[in-house]
Amino acid sequence: MTIASELKGEYGVALLHDPLLNKGTSFTEAERDMLGLRGLLPPKVTTMEQQSARVINNVRRQPTDLDKYSYLISLQERNATLFYRIVVDHLFELMPIIYTPTVGLACQKYALIFRRPQGLFISYRDKGRIAQALRNWPNDDVRMIVVTDGERILGLGDLGACGMGIPVGKLSLYTACAGVAPSQCLPVMLDVGTNNKALREDPLYIGVGEERLRGPAYDEFVHEFVEAVQEVFPKACIQFEDFGNTNAFRLLHKYRDKVCTFNDDIQGTAGVTLAGLIASLRLTGGTLADKKFLFLGAGEAGVGIADLIVRALMAEGVSEAVARQQCWLVDSQGLVVKSRTDLAEHKIPYAHDHAPVPDLLAAVEALKPTALVGVSGQPQTFTEPIVKAMGRINERPVILALSNPTSKAECTAEQAYTWTDGRAIFASGSPFPPFELNGKTHVSGQGNNSYVFPGVGLGVIASSARHVTEEMFFVAAKTLASLVTEDDLKTGCLYPDLQRIREVSSHIAAAVVENAIETGLAGIPRPRDLLAHVRRHMWEPKYKDYV
């Protein structure tokens, strides 16, 4: 590849405005002469290490997490390579800033902090021209698209076009956690309006200020988008993100066998949760087949996790009917049982024969579950009586408070440990600090999807898989659980150290590639060394030499 093609013909000021090519003050003297940069930069040539030290110092000086988010996003817009270098080197510190929990607040304030588009905003007014809009994206080798319609942003509800922060943040994690090249990532907001009245009436709102499109018109719009992606970016995988429950299940079922796609809220959440449950067996003893699982929340995440647990149980030789009987759901109306007439279609497979139970505490007492999983988006719903009941029923109760952001967590790590005298095995969707009780430090794991979806996506890219299957998330969960060390478990942590995330992602990707090859879905022959093959696809945040 020639220098000109590498730089896409950009020189001078245009080069400094391209975040994928810009090196800022790290352009060498020779590069400054050759690329028309003389005089456009301060005279001192600095190394990436020097730039990084300055940036992380500036990040830490910001007064609030939202200010840190804005500072980092501004850097990403100017110099993507330096941004990812900083994030990779300080992942534990910065992931809560660029994603949960801070990204939730950033979405709520998105109209105020918006600077420049980092993805494509496609509204239903663009119907008939969606392929044209996709072609306006400057990079043509897109492999991973994260798309939302903004209806169910984390646990915050309908944020309309302000939900764009989620696809941007997810794709940042694809690159930071799994090495998917930023040039291969495309965030998309499908703006179909919003039912958030406050946003519609806000003169600063950046989206379509009308009520949400529904029915056949909505389906036609989404279908045109999916078809346009196949035309413009035929190698791309589409990740549906933060759609409302009804649309999320419908769209996944409609397209999963037709194009390369998955829904992270349903399948990625399931993968990371199953991994935590498998890892917890090393602390509780027994097998998955011995356990009973109770979910607070019967939407995308709850049903998705239950479905993957059923698959895992069937792999242990349990029949599908018996496996489903081990998964119970509680929604806003109480326990999901067969006698109820108000159940949405996705809940019906988990509607079991049982007398009506009005609330979670009564369900815990009646069912005596070994694991309690919160995916409700409702904060402080794992109350002291509920957690204490779990501790009375189980020597080592498994309590997973997975709702995001932190303000929506069903309980805190401190509460879970305190109410069970330190016996709880706890994980949460957003991070909690270590907690000391009775002389022992408990380190709760972060059951965040970032442990799973980046590795799965990398594996799909590295295998040129035609589809993303449930089995891929099953092998991802098993791989993730196998990477939890004894040192992790000694502190009660169900997940590997976050600083190992790129290693974790490479192993998950290798397992996905192997699965794609074995199931005939891969577009490549089997490599001699799967892990080496995957690592060759991993982009490293290092500056290129243009001379």
Give the three-state DSSP class for 335.
Answer: strand
On the question of pLDDT at 104 being above 80, the answer is yes
On the question of pLDDT at 131 being above 70, the answer is yes
Banded model confidence at residue 117, pLDDT cuts 50, 70, 90: confident
Active site residue 546: no
Please indicate, yes or no, if residue 331 is contained in any of the structural domains: no
Is the domain of 66 the same as that of 155? no
Please indicate, yes or no, if residue 184 is contained in any of the structural domains: yes
Q: Compute the average pLDDT of residues 411-429.
A: 97
β 398-401/371-374 pair status: parallel
pLDDT at residue 406, rounded to an integer: 87
Active site residue 338: no
Is the domain of 250 the same as that of 128? yes
User: Which residue, 259, 275, 306, sits at the end of a domain?
Assistant: 259
Is the domain of 125 the same as that of 245? yes
Domain that holds residue 136: 117-259
**Residue 525 vs residues 37, 466, 512: alpha-carbon distances, Å:** 45, 14, 14
On the question of pLDDT at 486 being above 50, the answer is yes
164-222 pLDDT tens trace = 999 999 999 999 999 999 999 999 999 999 999 999 999 999 999 999 999 999 999 99
On the question of pLDDT at 42 being above 80, the answer is yes
On the question of pLDDT at 15 being above 70, the answer is yes
Is the domain of 122 the same as that of 212? yes
**Count of domains observed in the chain:** 2
pLDDT at residue 119, rounded to an integer: 97
Instruction: Say if CB 531 and CB 507 are below 8 A apart.
Output: yes
CATH number at residue 14: 1.20.1370.30
Q: Is 104 exposed, middle or buried (0-12, 13-18, 19+ CB in 10 A)?
A: buried
CATH number at residue 171: 3.40.50.10380
R_g of the chain, CA atoms, integer Å:
23
What distance in Å separates the CA atoms of residue 472 and residue 375, rounded to the nearest whole number? Answer: 22
**Residue 220 vs residues 82, 186, 192: alpha-carbon distances, Å:** 40, 22, 12
Is the domain of 141 the same as that of 255? yes
Banded model confidence at residue 3, pLDDT cuts 50, 70, 90: low
Is the domain of 148 the same as that of 91? no
Is the domain of 139 the same as that of 247? yes
Is the domain of 134 the same as that of 226? yes
Look up the pTM and report it. 0.95
Residue of 23, 68, 170, 291 marked active site: 170
Is the domain of 81 the same as that of 163? no
pLDDT at residue 10, rounded to an integer: 83
Q: For 150, phi and psi rounded to 5 degrees?
A: 75, 15
Residue of 69, 84, 99, 124 marked active site: 99
pLDDT at residue 1, rounded to an integer: 45
